[in-house]
Amino acid sequence: MIKIGILGAGTMGSGIAQVAAQSGHKTVIVDVNKAAIDNARKNLSGTIQKLVEKGKWTEDFGNDLLRRITFSTDMNDFEGSGLIIEAIIEDVSIKHKVFSDLENIVDEGCILASNTSSLSIASIASVLKNPKRAIGIHFFNPAPIMKLVEIIPAVQTSEETKNQAKRLIDSWGKTSVLTKDTPGFIVNRVARPFYGEALRIYEEGIADFATIDWAMTEIGGFRMGPFTLMDYIGNDVNYAVTEIVFQAFYYDPRFLPSFTQKRHSEAGYLGRKSGRGYYDYSEGAVMPKPNKDKALGIEIFNRILVMLINCAADALFLNIATREDIDLAMTNGVNYPKGLLKWADEIGIDNVLNQLQSLFEEYGEDRYRPCPLLKRMAKKGETFF
């Protein structure tokens, strides 16, 4: 089995290291910050202990797993690795530096991967002498639990690198999907309206946070409403991704960030981690009650859903991924109750298109422009599946 290197000992890096070690690989996790390395060792030991206590793992399995992981502050310990996954800060200049350094440490056959959720893999690969070995391997948090992994070949990536990376991730029991190297890849691109349209509905005064969340969970069947989820992710993190995607798409109105989220983030209302977001999480705080008007709930749910479907259709239209991988990504990466393209078939492409066209006519904003693929399919009476 090849040796796996993980650069970055934060939550994501530690989680990926656990996944690799669980699958039997000798794994090296490196972080220049010794405190981060010590914290990763302590947290991983705690996780193993809990899983052993719950009877999910035997003590021997847990001990063997921990023995397979080396914790280090020295990148030279990556020597001999067959794959290195970088999971550090989302700053392309820092990634350029570490990728250049890594190339001087590892053998020619070692795959160099980034776990970035939003940056260009082509740009990261551009600093390498051999950019053919670079690829994006994007895990979702928490890495040991979430099944989905997006595999993102850059324009420079070789077929061999792509196939090797996919085979390896699949062998770890993950569900991998292939996506083009475009902003947000599949999940962070297609999911934007779940947050953006919910914020717009609030800003128009149609409904409050609790009512929008109720509509999406009770009527739509989503596990979390958009405001609960943004509070869980962190408003600073969610807003930053929205801004990156918006800028990366040359300011396409479909990805327009929200002033409501910006102001909450600026105020320090980051969500659960700060004790206050769209909801108050302080001790003794009472959660607001939603307005359970069914007609209003259906209106909210339909509006957000058709916007999500439009984004998914656009990803297919522009060959970002296959229809199967788009639906797989949304059900496994963000736990949507159904794949969006299958959902469109159930509702009827005509119905989806009519709702989008009504919004487009009412607002006159490019945000609501229907994807050409939906227009063509409605004309021919086609379905996605």
Catalytic position from the list 188, 235, 238, 332: 188
Known catalytic residue: 96? no
The Cα–Cα gap between 198 and 206 comes to 10
- Residue in the structure block whose two tokens are 């969610």: 238
Instruction: Give the tens place of pLDDT for each residue, 88-113.
Output: 998 999 999 999 999 999 999 999 99
Give the whole-angstrom CA distance, residue 29 versus residue 85. Answer: 10
β partners of residue 134: 112
Q: Hey, how many other C-beta atoms are within 10 angstroms of the C-beta on 56?
A: 11
Which one from 14, 25, 115, 150 is the annotated catalytic residue? 150
Backbone angles phi, psi at 114, to 5 degrees: -115, 140
- Residue 264 annotated in active site: no
Check 14, 114, 120, 138 and give the catalytic one.
138
| φ, ψ (nearest 5 deg) of residue 349 | -60, -40
Cis peptide before 337 (omega within 30 of 0): no
Confidence (pLDDT) at 207? 98
Residue ranges and CATH numbers for the domains of the chain are 3-178 (3.40.50.720), 189-380 (1.10.1040.50)
Q: Which residues pair with 111 in a beta bridge?
A: 83
Interval 128-154 mean pLDDT: 96
CA distance 377 to 131: 39
pTM of structure: 0.93
Say whether 138 is catalytic. yes
Catalytic residue among 23, 117, 118, 332: 117
pLDDT tens digits, 27-74: 999 999 999 999 999 999 999 999 999 999 999 999 999 999 999 999
3-class DSSP state of 9: coil
Asked about 354 being catalytic, the answer comes back as: no
Question: How many other β-carbons are positioned within 10 Å of the β-carbon of residue 91?
Answer: 10
User: In the sheet where 81-86 sits, what is the strand order?
Assistant: 69-72, 27-30, 3-7, 81-86, 111-114, 134-139, 148-153, 175-178
Alpha-carbon distances, residue 70 vs 22, 66, 144 (angstroms): 14, 8, 18
8-state DSSP, 280: B
List, for residues 228-280, the tens digit of each pLDDT value: 999 998 999 899 889 988 999 999 999 999 999 999 999 999 999 999 999 99
